[in-house]
Amino acid sequence: MIITNSEKPVTVAVGTHGSNEAYSFTVPVNSVEQHLLLDSNGAGDTFVGGFLASVCLSLKADPKLQLEGAVLSKDHLTQAVRAGNLIAGQVVQRYGCDFPTLPQLKRLIEDSQSDLKLN
């Protein structure tokens, strides 16, 4: 389960395969300066898109994760949350559901010196 709450850290709760036990952790959010916030429409959907794109890239990059029943690690989930936050942070700086082009997004990742990768 992923719980976002604006500029507050994202909470990730993960169940353990074959058990009733779970654990949770948080991922910090890079806040957008107040004067840059224009419109939150589409931010949640965009977060999900960035999150799922990162998960798909993780699955593509590591064939072991493609096995049925494979579980993404905390590192994979953290990377996916960071990807979702990165793109959602851009969407809230625009009116409507507009988002950066791929070249703009690649430049944003490079500028942030992030370890996020677009393949």
pLDDT digits (tens, 9 = 90+) for 26-67: 999 988 999 999 998 889 999 999 899 888 888 888 777 766
Radius of gyration of the chain (CA): 15
pTM score over 0.85:
no
62 is catalytic: no
Please state the rounded mean pLDDT for residues 77-90: 91
Catalytic choice (45, 62, 75, 111)? 45
* Strand-by-strand arrangement of the 2-5 sheet: 2-5, 8-15, 22-27
pLDDT of residue 66: 64
Nearest to 12 by CA among 86, 98, 92, 85: 85
